[in-house]
């Protein structure tokens, strides 16, 4: 054990609870993180050269004079990382995110991605190599992402597991053992996740993460054109790409009759109904229904039905406000659960079957998962896990934590810059509004994306 590892171990013994040991039981370790709420202890030591090389560059595919531009590219650099006392020399570290990165430019608490395997092959943390660290820049309670993914799972959608990490950063010449506080840890959606959670085979599946198409497009009969959908898995799986291509043709160019007759054979309608129901209740506007990113598309084989999976839900619970008063998000109308042009949704809601599926999914969540009893019980559980760690970060951190849950007298979370509701006030108001809309006594607030 080198001197740096000894110092790191002593440091975390002061600020952190006892770290459990799991030997080689990888499943038990990740269960402790994602289900039992064990807070990881992470220390990152970055040279100045590595820090400078991590700074974003404008992507080679950036398009000038176009409204859609998510073109920053983040480079991995070699850093020293210790996770729960286990050192990872020459691990990969880079920034991640869009708004979560842009709004953290004046702070060291940026969103990160760790890849322990990037420069030293086979270097794994209990069988896994990647961790996504969300800086929760608009959630001082650090719970919105975990609660949101729980709701998507309740709606029947496979969703990444989430936990927390207490992070300390050293950057040569800039910061020495600076406590960054709590991060939200998001499970990586990769080939391992595909096989274990999505019943997929990398030899047949495609997993796409669209980020540059405002609405989906049929790009013709050349499979190569569909790389524009940002295929993360399956770039050469031509038969499945052709299935995807045919699905886009059906959505975009088919007659109303053909669409109504065939769409259920190409799109998993129950999956889409569950996604829309959860997204509506969460007023998760920074997603497929409002923006051109923050979701995955999945086809497991050339005969499969298209599925939509949630991703990057840090602005759920009405946090992405479109510049509107926060209470309007809590009162968003349920009968049109999208705000940007989405041809698929427009056509689905013109069919006889789909609005019924959506309504069933919405009511089911309202009765079982999106209730004060259920969500507030989850909040209490998460609060018990996080409070001992946050207390050691000081009274200011603890006050911000409580503010993110309860809000002030008006329900606002004053601990973040954007005027948003804290979690509990949002949930109460959203439940009240949706119940009134289901009864027909209220219409809800109509929202539109400002271009």
pLDDT score for 294: 95
Q: Rg (Cα) of the chain, in Å, rounded?
A: 22
- On the question of pLDDT at 13 being above 80, the answer is no
Domain range list for the chain: 3-135+159-192, 200-451
| Alpha carbon distance 303, 249 (integer Å) | 16
Residue with tokens 């606002």: 412
- Of the candidates 192, 75, 207, 194, the one whose C-alpha atom is nearest the C-alpha of residue 129 is 192
Say whether 185 sits in a helix, a strand or coil. strand
pLDDT score for 73: 82
| Alpha carbon distance 328, 433 (integer Å) | 10
For residues 68-97, average pLDDT: 88
Q: What is the pLDDT of residues 429-451, one digit of tens each?
A: 999 999 999 999 999 999 976 54
Please, what is the angle between helix 354-368 and helix 423-439, to 10°?
Answer: 130
Q: How many degrees, rounded to 5, is the angle at CA 290 between CA 287 and CA 295?
A: 25
For residues 276-285, average pLDDT: 98
Residue with tokens 């990769």: 190
| Alpha carbon distance 328, 318 (integer Å) | 9
In the structure encoding, which two tokens stand for residue 375, read together? 């969500």
Q: What percent of the chain has pLDDT over 90?
A: 86
- Displacement of CA 385 from its chain's centroid (Å): 21
Cα separations (Å) of 340 from 9, 316, 336? Answer: 50, 17, 11
Q: What is the pLDDT of residues 228-267, one digit of tens each?
A: 999 999 999 999 999 999 999 999 999 999 999 999 999 9
- On the question of pLDDT at 59 being above 60, the answer is no
pLDDT score for 3: 43
| Alpha carbon distance 365, 359 (integer Å) | 10
Please, what is the angle between helix 144-154 and helix 354-368, to 10°?
Answer: 120
């Amino acid at each position: 054990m080198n001197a740096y590892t000894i110092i790191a171990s002593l440091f975390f013994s002061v600020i952190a609870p006892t770290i459990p040991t799991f030997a080689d039981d990888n499943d038990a370790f990740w269960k402790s993180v994602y289900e039992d709420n064990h807070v990881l202890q992470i220390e990152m030591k970055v040279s100045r050269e590595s820090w400078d090389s991590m700074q974003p560059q404008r992507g080679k595919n950036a398009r000038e004079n176009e409204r859609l531009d998510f073109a920053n590219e983040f480079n991995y650099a070699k850093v020293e990382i210790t996770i729960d006392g286990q050192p990872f020399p020459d691990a990969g570290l880079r920034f991640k995110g869009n708004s979560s990165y842009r709004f953290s430019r004046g702070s060291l608490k940026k969103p990160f991605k760790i890849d322990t395997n990037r420069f030293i092959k086979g270097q794994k943390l209990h069988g896994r190599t990647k961790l996504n660290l969300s800086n929760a820049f608009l959630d001082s309670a650090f719970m919105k992402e975990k609660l949101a993914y729980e709701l998507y799972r309740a709606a029947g959608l496979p969703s990444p597991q989430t936990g927390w990490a207490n992070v300390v950063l050293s950057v040569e010449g800039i910061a020495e053992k600076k406590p960054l506080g709590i991060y939200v840890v998001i499970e990586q959606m990769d080939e391992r996740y595909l096989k274990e959670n999505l019943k997929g085979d990398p030899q047949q599946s495609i997993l796409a993460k669209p980020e540059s198409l405002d609405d989906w497009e049929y790009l013709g009969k050349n499979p190569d054109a569909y790389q524009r959908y940002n295929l993360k898995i399956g770039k050469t799986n031509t038969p499945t790409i052709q299935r995807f291509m045919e699905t886009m043709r059906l959505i975009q160019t088919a007659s109303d009759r053909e669409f109504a007759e065939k769409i259920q054979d190409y799109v998993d309608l129950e999956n889409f109904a569950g996604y829309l129901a959860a997204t509506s209740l969460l007023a998760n506007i920074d997603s497929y229904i409002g923006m051109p990113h923050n979701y995955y598309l999945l086809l497991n084989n050339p005969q499969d039905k298209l599925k939509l999976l949630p991703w990057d839900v840090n602005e759920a619970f009405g946090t992405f406000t479109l510049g509107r008063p926060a209470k309007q998000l809590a009162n968003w109308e349920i009968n049109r659960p999208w705000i940007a042009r989405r041809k698929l949704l427009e056509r689905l809601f013109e069919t006889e079957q789909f609005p019924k599926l959506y309504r069933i999914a919405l009511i089911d969540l309202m009765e079982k998962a999106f209730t004060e009893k259920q969500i507030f019980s989850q909040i209490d559980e998460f609060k018990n896990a996080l409070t001992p760690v946050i207390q050691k970060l000081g009274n200011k951190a603890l006050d911000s934590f409580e503010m993110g849950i309860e809000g002030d007298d008006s329900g606002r979370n004053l601990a973040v810059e954007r005027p948003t509701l804290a979690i509990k006030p949002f949930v109460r108001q959203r439940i009240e509004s949706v119940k009134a809309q289901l009864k027909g006594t209220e219409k809800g607030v109509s929202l539109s994306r400002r271009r």
